[in-house]
Structure 1
């Protein structure tokens, strides 16, 4: 399988939302229906118009089989250094375990280096044991305790 990794276009949005919803946790928070809720289009346009956000897809031909979002953030800490944050990583359930997720994350790491980031970070839900093992295998370590508050 020859994989192309590229910036997402609006035409990819349907496939992206389908992957986000095709998941035990995602099925509880996403709304994959036709037509897609307008909130997804608004989010896509906000991401694509922001130079510090990139929505990235992995494709096999015309089929979108993976997605991730990368956000680049300047910090006052680390002497004004930049960080990259990876969010919303999913691969199509039909190809999980075939290395597409690894290719996406390695692509993100390289992109963070290109952007001059000193650190790349991500979070995963504590219920995602497989994802935690996956990220650790790729060199990520649980160095901090993360906290969230729903608003």
Structure 2
């Protein structure tokens, strides 16, 4: 298995994975051709040195997982950097084989390489399996997150 940065030709497969779950299917618009807003978002991510959109390929060069790491500069913690992991997805037929754990191990090591002092994430409270998975990895629910949708 190999981790690498996403290229434009990978974007449709990533959107397909993001849309392929109970919450994603209600908010994403996966279709071919891919709606332009996804390609614009990809270009913005690629242009920002504090964003890393990553895929995991298997030995057949098939995309089996994706995640996005954001590196956020703060004044708190003496001006340190936080890493935030988002949009973690594993292809449905590849779940349950330890791939998620490998992806998080990679992300943790990458955050350490970038000198982040912590790795944080958010998850929907409806994703009870995911919450258990994150807790098993060592994540702790230390804050109450809040959102305002526009």
> By the TM > 0.5 criterion, same fold?
yes
Which residue of 2 is the match for residue 31 of structure 1? Answer: 29
1:71 aligns with 2:70: yes
> Counterpart of 1:145 in 2: which secondary structure?
coil
1:57 Cα shift? 0.4
Deviations 1:50-69 (A, max 9, x none): 10000010111221010000
Deviations 1:39-94 (A, max 9, x none): 00001110011100000101112210100000001100000010000000000000
Give me the TM-score of the superposition, normalised by structure 2: 0.98
Q: How does 1:8-47 map to 2 (within 5 A)?
A: 8-47=6-45
Give me the TM-score of the superposition, normalised by structure 1: 0.97
1:122 Cα shift? 0.2
> Counterpart of 1:149 in 2: which secondary structure?
coil
Which residue of 2 is the match for residue 143 of structure 1? Answer: 142
> Counterpart of 2:92 in 1: which secondary structure?
coil
Q: Over the residues paired in the alignment, what is the CA RMSD in angstroms? A: 0.6
CA distance in 2, matches of 1:38, 1:115: 31
CA distance in 2, matches of 1:9, 1:101: 21
Structure 1 residue runs of 4+, over 6 Å off? none
Which residue of 1 is the match for residue 112 of structure 2? Answer: 113
CA distance in 1, matches of 2:10, 2:61: 10
CA distance in 2, matches of 1:12, 1:103: 20
1:99 Cα shift? 1.1
Q: How does 1:94-133 map to 2 (within 5 A)?
A: 94-133=93-132
Unaligned 5+ segments in structure 2 are none
> Counterpart of 2:142 in 1: which secondary structure?
coil
